[in-house]
């Protein structure tokens, strides 16, 4: 039984979402961090990020614009527990395979912008 509990805890424990091969512009000021046209890969998907972190405390508000083209979403992504509820809901709505998505993630959650 202990082995099953340990396995379950590993599955539900939030995993970091790694952004690899990062390139872009970061501006650090005394009050915030701004970033624009930051490109990289998340699980072999190319993404571009822009936004800001409003302060340096762990609970600082963050706004992130994410653009991803032709994304491949695994059937059961290991990072699902790391997303806010709205992000996980949106991920399930995005069709696996070829998709184009533009999402705005702020401290209130992940939202698709009005078109």
**Percent with pLDDT over 70 in the chain:** 63
Q: Is 26 exposed, middle or buried (0-12, 13-18, 19+ CB in 10 A)?
A: exposed
Give yes or no for a contact between 39 and 47, defined as CB atoms under 8 angstroms apart.
yes
Question: Which pLDDT value is given to residue 21?
Answer: 94
- Domain containing 23 equals 2-111
pLDDT (mean) for 62-82: 78
Closest CA to 68 of 89, 35, 38: 38
Query: Which residue would you say has higher pLDDT here, 107 or 76?
Result: 76
Question: Which pLDDT value is given to residue 48?
Answer: 94
Q: How many domains does the chain have?
A: 1
Question: Which pLDDT value is given to residue 79?
Answer: 74
């Amino acid at each position: 039984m202990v082995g099953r509990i340990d396995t379950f805890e590993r599955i539900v424990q939030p995993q970091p979402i790694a952004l690899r091969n990062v390139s872009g512009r970061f501006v650090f000021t005394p009050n915030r961090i701004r970033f624009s046209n930051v490109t990289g890969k998340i699980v072999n998907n190319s993404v571009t990020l822009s936004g800001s972190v409003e302060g340096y405390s762990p609970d600082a508000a963050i706004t992130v614009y994410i653009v991803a083209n032709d994304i491949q979403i695994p059937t059961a992504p290991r990072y699902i527990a790391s997303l806010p509820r709205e992000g996980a809901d949106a991920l399930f709505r995005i069709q696996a395979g070829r998709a184009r998505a533009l999402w705005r993630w702020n401290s209130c959650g992940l939202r698709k912008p009005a078109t």
